[in-house]
Amino acid sequence: MQENKKAQEALDITDFDTSVDPARDFYTYANGGWIKKNPLPPEFSRFGTFDKLADDNNGMLRTLVEELAGNHQDKNNLAGKMGIFYTTGMNEDVLNDKTAQVLTQIRKDLVTLTNIQELPTVLATLHKKGVSAFYGFFGSPDSKNAEMVLPHLAQSGLGLPEQDYYTSNEKRSLEIREEYTRHIQKVFILAGYDEKTALDFSQQVMQIEIMLAEASMTRLERRDPHKTYHKLSPMALKELSPSFDWDEYFKAVGLPQPGDTIVMQPDFIRAMDKVLKVKPVKEVKIYLEWQLLRYSCSFLSTDFVDVNFEFYGKFLSGTETLKPRWKRVLSATNEALGEALGKLYVEKYFPPHAKTRMLTLVENLKAALALRISDLEWMSEKTKAYALEKLDTIRVKIGYPDQWRDFSGLEIDKDHYLLNVMRAHAFEFDYMVSKINKPVDREEWFMPPQTVNAYYSPNLNEICFPAGILQPPFFYADADDALNYGAIGMVIGHEMTHGFDDQGRHYDKHGNLVNWWTDEDAERFKERAQVLVDQFNKYEVAEEVFANGELTLGENIADLGGLNVSLTAYKNANSNEALQKVTGGFTGLQRFFLAYAHVWAQNIRPQEVLRRVKEDVHSPGDLRVNGPLPNMKEFHDAFEIKEGDAMFLPNEKRADIW
């Protein structure tokens, strides 16, 4: 009786809007009450159940960090490092008083730049500190030999988050370019330049960024892993960009023998080379100073923080107010010392039995996906056999790592917040460089345990579910199977399906970019995926603005696949009687779909909708519900969806992939 009561309470009827017909708009039916109860806080551009859980989680982390800040200020131990880092970020008076002094200190590396030959050393210094000028440099598994970490170069160094904002003549893109130019000028003025000089600087920065943007890959192009794989020898890299001394750069970052490098966007590196040829060194220097200032704004005095928020928060996303300082500083602390903080988080907040139940769910989901693959009518036995091998090989990480990172080499001091942020980046950068040209460490985690998220890595063929996401509304320790399979079960299935989406399917069981499909099966996959692309392209997300079915295809495949796999696992784990048993006024099947829908409840600002349509590979929250569900017969049956209903989709028009 007590278990049934907890199961009822886990699904809150006040989160629904029962005035809406579920056959017309299931998203609003399942979430309308929650949406009304949770209006957009002024500091958020989007606030959903995901965001609310992350925000609540921050409250728990704040308790841990503020206790450290109050009791530990010895920079020679880990607790002291975390305490001092947080304390320097919270001391607004020091930030306001010492900004001019710190700006002088961090600019000193640029002063030495008098000719292009000196650029590699300066750029290496900036990259170590976290300033991604011109390009990004990082170590990652070689996609065609996933056992080894190789150096990678990727397009970077642009202040606007999407190439289209630089190149499109759409009204919104034109407005963004104009406002961004003004923003650059404002920051240069704060940095000590007069208005005319700052205006000249802003125009020179824009000229360089536009040159780089025009050679950039779009987000859609970057979704094709074959387009972003170009392994170049040291000689070939020099030929690609002869104006830049790569030997000097690699030596300066601590990798004197880099070997082959994966250049993800060769055209971008060529464009950088052109910039170095046609632009005088003084303009390159201005561009570098802008990248340094842009990166530093959030960690300087209040006037820098406010100007930065005016553009990136208010203008681009529509956010009304800046987040409280403690949230911003906590975020930076989390980034700098995530796994160290995660160890404390797990000890205090993560119950061991949650990991045990998750392991059971994962095994059930794996078995369900194996069953679904085996039953696919459109796939040949040869491809099925390899798909099953890949599924069986997927590694699973739950909760927290078995081995914790060593932060003893990280230097933190009481002098200034920005300097501590840069020290933390340099520590992480050196750690990254130390892994290059060595075997991949498959025990390493790429999200700290407190993260409210999950991931699938194609190069590692692994799924990871940190402790942070193993809470309601995703995971219920005491609720019925319907809710757990509908929520966290779907998340598990979603991440597994990423191994077989339009990107993940290109990687084999070892994480290598290898074609294991027959040509006929690959064509049949593309045909079925196109059905989903066409469906989402028809959804209007704002006036005359439509969803991008190609950009969001991977996530849409994973949503639909995750639902199908989790539903299969739920049905396998329960009798038909249990599926139809009414709890809290709903059958088990209905509770499954309601739990799924609740995960995506949200309020969002109009500007943020427009931004995400351009930049986000995920569909908007309402489409993550109303998009995949019409493709499922069980959903039609559970809520008696019939022809003529908005949520109805005839069988021949449904997407059916995994």
Angle at 354 between CA 48 and CA 329, to 5 degrees: 50
Instruction: Name, in order, each residue with C-beta under 8 angstroms of 227's C-beta and a sequence gap of 6 or more.
Output: 217, 221
- Residue 39 is given by DSSP the state P
For residue 396, what are the β-bridge partners? 463
Instruction: Name, in order, each residue with C-beta under 8 angstroms of 556's C-beta and a sequence gap of 6 or more.
Output: 532, 536, 549, 619, 627, 628
Q: Is there a cis peptide before residue 39, judged by omega within 30 degrees of 0?
A: no
Of 552, 568, 419, the C-alpha closest to 492 is 568
Judge residue 656's burial from the number of C-beta atoms within 10 Å of its C-beta, 0-12 exposed, 13-18 middle, 19 or more buried.
Answer: middle
| Side chain identity, residue 426 | A
* Structural tokens at position 295: 């990166």
Q: Among 245, 339, 481, 495, which one carries the catalytic annotation?
A: 495
Place of tokens 């339009």: 502
For residue 48, what are the β-bridge partners? 602
CA gap 416, 418 in Å, rounded: 6
* Structural tokens at position 426: 């340099």
CB 591 within 8 A of CB 486: yes
CA gap 311, 607 in Å, rounded: 12
Based on the residue annotation, tell me whether 97 is a catalytic residue of this protein.
no
CA gap 132, 126 in Å, rounded: 7
Q: Among 15, 209, 501, 559, which one carries the catalytic annotation?
A: 559
Query: In Å, what is the CA distance from 248 to each residue of 131, 251, 436, 554?
Result: 18, 5, 17, 39
| Three-class secondary structure assignment of 558-617 | HHHHHHHHHHHHHHHHCCHHHHHCCECCECHHHHHHHHHHHHCCEEECHHHHHHHHHHCC
CA gap 19, 504 in Å, rounded: 41
CB 514 within 8 A of CB 508: yes
Helix (H) or strand (E) holding 466: strand 462-466
Based on the residue annotation, tell me whether 559 is a catalytic residue of this protein.
yes
Residue 333: what are its φ and ψ, rounded to 5°?
Answer: -65, -40
Q: Which residues are catalytic?
A: 495, 559
